[in-house]
Structure 1
Amino acid sequence: MEIEIFLLEIFSQYTNIKILGNQHIIDNKNNKILIMHGDLLCTDDISYQRFRKIIRNKVIVTLIKILPYSIKTYLANF
């Protein structure tokens, strides 16, 4: 399970670091720099893309947040 999804807000507050989205463009004078998560480039891995779409769904994220820790741990180790 992608634990970083659930820890990003806490990490951001603790470290005072701004969390960017999956893609972010930085304007540096006359240059534009694209920063993106490498998972977006794994387009041939259909099962991973399907999993990613499910696990990042807002309803699923909310449900996982309210699950007891023991169930989250079980699912993460499944």
Structure 2
Amino acid sequence: MALAREDVNFESIKSEADVEMLVKNMVQTNNMIAHLKDEQLEMRNELKRRDETISKVKDDIQLLKKEKRWNML
């Protein structure tokens, strides 16, 4: 009753609450995107290390083949 007497605009309050909720969701979404980008970077680095390891092993195999020590593996 007291609110009605003071001409409180409930639509305005609802609109402000909706905007606040949207901003909160946007912040959460941006945080999630940043987290996923970090994970993506970590995965790329892991793949790069794996590829380097595979390349080194292939080089070692080629060297062993050249030295006729393939049967030592």
**Which one has the bigger strand percentage?**
1
Query: Shorter-chain TM-score: what band?
Result: under 0.3
Give the TM-score of the pair, scaled to structure 1: 0.21
Give the TM-score of the pair, scaled to structure 2: 0.22
Q: Which structure has the higher relative contact order (CA within 8 Å, separation 6+)?
A: 1
